[in-house]
Amino acid sequence: MGNTTASGSNLSPSVAQFLSKQTRFCVKDVHKLHRCFRNVSRGKSKLKKECFLGLFQEKYPDANSVQFAEHAFRLYDKDNNGSVDFSEFVLLLNTHFRGEKVERLQLLFRLYDLEQNQQISLDEALRVIHDLHSLNAGLVPKEDVASADIIVNSVFNKFPGDIMETQQFYQFAVENNTMRRLLEGSHLALYKPLVPEEFEKLYASVRRRSLK
């Protein structure tokens, strides 16, 4: 994504302006996010994968967080170079906090599309749901997790090869209440280890933004 910082820990005004124009964040918010990024990256210009995975372990110390963290890292590391730079960080959070419904659904589709082949298999869906549940973070009601396997199996069995295409996934996410809550829990899990509570509170309405 290119170099997004000036020397040291400062974010250049031109980069802040550029990222503001590329997102729905104002310049002030971009600077807040830069301070947040410098904190989670331990003052580095890039957030390395091992550090990223460690943040999930710190957030969920009593859980097996590695697998879900791996899924999340794949979304942040858009250029697949083994680290997350500030631009990648801001762009994903822009989708989460400020994205339209279709943009958030596209992000979630990428989360569940483990093979990155523009389709989601039954096995992929169940793997991500189980990895989300492994966080044990209360992001999804227990009754939804308990019924997820039955619901997901019943829906995927309607499609040839138990494969769901993009538009089918979008429809399922919107129409099925259990799956919608699971997806909204997935959304929260993607950013909570990386964003401090004081920033999250500025956008508390995200908790009330349904995919419906």
Task: Kindly state whether residue 171 falls inside one of the protein's structural domains.
Answer: yes
Q: How far is CA 123 from CA 74, 84, 105, 142, in A?
A: 18, 28, 19, 21
For 194, the token pair is 């990386």
- Phi-psi region for residue 102, left (φ > 0), alpha (ψ -120 to 50) or beta? alpha
Q: What DSSP assignment string belongs to 87-146?
A: HHHHHHHHHHHH--HHHHHHHHHHHH-TT-SS-EEHHHHHHHHHHHHHT-SSSS-HHHHH
- For the chain, give the number of residues: 212
Query: Lowest mean pLDDT: which of 17-21, 108-112, 175-179, 204-208?
Result: 204-208
- Of 70, 65, 192, 190, the closest CA to residue 133 belongs to 65
Residues spanned by the domain of 119? 12-212
139-171, pLDDT tens digit by residue?
777 777 778 888 889 989 999 999 999 999 999
Question: How many CB atoms neighbour CB 147 within 10 A?
Answer: 13
What's the CA gap between 80 and 83, in Å, rounded? 8
CATH number at residue 68: 1.10.238.10
Under the banding of pLDDT at 50, 70 and 90, the label for residue 117 is very high
Task: Kindly state whether residue 97 falls inside one of the protein's structural domains.
Answer: yes
Task: Kindly state whether residue 129 falls inside one of the protein's structural domains.
Answer: yes
- Of 117, 122, 208, the closest CA to residue 160 belongs to 122
169-206, pLDDT tens digit by residue?
999 888 888 888 888 888 888 988 998 877 766 655 54
Task: Kindly state whether residue 208 falls inside one of the protein's structural domains.
Answer: yes
pLDDT score recorded for residue 207? 46
Task: Kindly state whether residue 2 falls inside one of the protein's structural domains.
Answer: no
For 101, the token pair is 């419904």
What's the CA gap between 128 and 172, in Å, rounded? 16
Task: Kindly state whether residue 77 falls inside one of the protein's structural domains.
Answer: yes
Task: Kindly state whether residue 121 falls inside one of the protein's structural domains.
Answer: yes
For 104, the token pair is 């958030």
- Looking up tokens 């138990």 gives 162
Whether this prediction's pTM lies above 0.85 is answered by yes
- Of 176, 56, 67, the closest CA to residue 129 belongs to 67
CA 181 to chain CA centroid, Å, is: 15
pLDDT score recorded for residue 36? 92
Total count of domains within the chain:
1
